[in-house]
Amino acid sequence: MTDETSGQTRVTAEPGKQEIVITRVFDAPRDLVFETFTNPDLIPDWWGPARLSTTVDRMEVRSGGSWRFVQREADGPEFGFHGVFHEVSPYRIVQPFEFEGVPGHVALETATFEDLGGGRTRYTGRSVYQSLEDRDGMVASGMESGARESMDRIADLLAKG
């Protein structure tokens, strides 16, 4: 774990466990990573897939506060996501997460931020789903968009030459 390269995202989904764990190391101090992560003004810049516009309906960054984000296709449907901040403390966020397109299926997300020293920070996002089917279904439904996303990125790269 200590030799993780910055910029690489690792995703772990153990068979038989209804959770997914995402880790990523950033070349930035922990205060800044946490601040950026919890800044409502910056959410539209990174939270959703690039092809959708993301707006923050509400985001009360404190324990007991609630949040709701909306994603829109250029000329089409909206997708809402919401939850409450069960806990926001320095370097740890605990929150249920619900996609309004599949109501009633709620995942519990825990985000932690570890100081690795030398101005590096490890983000770990752990999502626990209500069932194995939820976990597997959540990702299966993201498959098509995942594929499209990568095409967008290739296009981006080509445009930058």
Count of residues that interact with another protein, criterion CB under 8 A: 41
Q: Is residue 147 part of the contact set for another protein (CB under 8 A)?
A: yes
Asked if 133 interacts with another protein (CB under 8 A), we say yes
CB of 137 to another protein, least distance (A): 5
User: Alpha-carbon distance 3 to 5, whole Å?
Assistant: 6
Q: Is 157 in the site for another protein (CB under 8 A)?
A: no
Neighbours of 85 (CB within 10 A): 19
Between residue 42 and residue 81, which ones bind another protein under the rule CB under 8 A? Answer: 42, 45-50
Whether the Cβ atoms of residue 66 and residue 85 lie closer than 8 Å to each other: yes
Alpha helices in 4-142 (DSSP H): 30-37, 43-46, 132-141
Give the interface with another protein as residue ranges (CB under 8 A). Answer: 7-11, 13, 15-17, 20, 22, 24, 26-28, 32-33, 36-37, 42, 45-50, 123, 132-133, 136-137, 139-140, 142-143, 145-147, 149-150, 153
